Structure 1
Amino acid sequence: MASIALTTLSAGAAFAATGETLAEINRYFNGIKTMRGEFSQFGPDGSITSGRFAIQRPGRIRFFYDKPSNLDIIADGKSVAVKDRKRYKQDIWPLGRTPLRFLLDTSIDLTSDAKVTRVDVQPDIVSVTVEESTAFGDGSITMMFDAATNELKQWNVVDSKGQETSVSIYNVKTGVPVDPSLFEIDYRIPSNN
């Protein structure tokens, strides 16, 4: 890990506490196979959109954006489609080349992943930053976990141009039934890329 931000512990105690915290988050997050909830997305232009989401790990996610947005984002385990419902068009990228890959992997190991570049342990939130090269250029994803429950609360994606998009999730339920058809990409829809 490139840097660890802790202010009240000695270096050795800080590293041990951080490692223990990350191991707890690994156990919690890797135990989740399905998740449903609501989200609010804050765009780099100041826009705010909201909607519902569903996850089935590994590899599957669906974001249903509320109107007036016309977007759906679907990952089917291989690809990610950003679909415009109004124009009946979509962009498709390989899942492994998007920031979502890290959230949707079969398992994560925040204690040893070389792409983890920053860990910040605070009394209420643990932030973990992962830097990656994606289809959109070099960027990062910072995941924020509740320090008491280890639940994922938010992630911020910074693209290669330095523009940040934040997604906060709430009313989350884990281990719930999720309809597999939610994650089907219609490859017959014309692609913009």
Structure 2
Amino acid sequence: MKRALLALLFLSGCATSGYGHLPADQQADVHRIETYMNGVTGMQASFNQTGPDNGVSAGRFVYMPAHLRLDYVTPHTMELVAGDGHLVLDDMDSGAVTHLSLKRNPLGLLLHYPIRFDRGIQVTDVRRGQGSLQVSVAEADNPSQGLLTLQFSDTAGKLLLIGLQGVDARQNHFSVSLGNVVEGVTVTPTVFTPPGG
């Protein structure tokens, strides 16, 4: 399971910068996503995560622009806090604490504020379905190292983040699905204090 989690953490991006190469309707969709993500004042959800070894984990997801926290309860207690260019994972089961830079990590693409998908980021794909929208992004200056996909429900013109998917340079896949998503919650800044911080 920890290998699956680290696969999520070590993703890297690819391709050239921006989304000006996309058709006008897809550019509009990307702009909607940017506007939505930058307007989130606080979000909480339950999550289920599947990694490259098909290991499944679950817990609580807390997000606000530039900050993310995952509290794992399955298969055992772990705490992940990301923001300010760094990620800290505290595995309460083993006592191990992992520190990572988000500089070359696509998870960092989710933690910029404001989120802009035209500055050093490449939008590689936009897909619209029945009541759904997703965008795939990567760092522009590190070709073929990985990909991050943000998934949204899109109902009556309203977006809601419902999942993340990715693949790393070794073709390890992960997915995180969100449930019971609540937006507009007040999140105390100390929630994003790294373990031991």
- The Cα of 1:66 is off from its aligned counterpart by 1.1
Q: Using the alignment, how far apart are the partners of 1:67 and 1:126 within structure 2?
A: 29
Superposed, 1:48-87 pairs within 5 Å as: 48-58=56-66, 60-87=67-94
Computing the radius of gyration from Cα coordinates, the structure with the larger value is 1
The one-letter amino acid of 1:122's match is G
- Are 2:40 and 1:35 equivalent residues in the alignment? no
Relative contact order higher in (CA < 8 Å, ≥ 6 apart):
2
Aligned to 2:178: 169
Number of residue pairs matched?
174
1:119 to 126, 131, 137: 126
Report the Cα distance in structure 2 between the residues aligned to 1:29 and 1:76, rounded to whole angstroms.
Answer: 15
From 23, 29, 38, give the equivalent of 1:21: 29
8 Å CA contact 2:81, 2:195 repeated in 1: no
Shift of 1:165: 0.7
Gaps of 5+ in 2: 1-14, 17-21
C-alpha distance 56-24 of structure 1, shift in aligned 2 (>3 A): closer
TM-score by length of 2: 0.77
Shift of 1:109: 3.0
User: Could you say which residue in structure 1 is the equivalent of 2:3?
Assistant: none
Contact between 2:48 and 2:57, CA under 8 Å: does it hold in 1?
Answer: yes
TM-score normalised by the chain length of structure 1:
0.79
Q: How many Å apart are 1:19 and its aligned residue? A: 2.0
Q: Distance in 2 between matches of 1:133 and 1:161?
A: 18
Q: Name structure 1 gaps, 5 residues minimum.
A: 3-13, 189-193
Q: 1:102-155 CA distances to partner (integer Å, 9 max, x unpaired)?
A: 112102234x35411111222322221112389xx9211011122332211111
Query: 1:185 maps to which residue?
Result: 194
- For residue 166 of structure 1, report the CA deviation from its aligned partner: 0.1
The residue aligned with 2:104 is 97
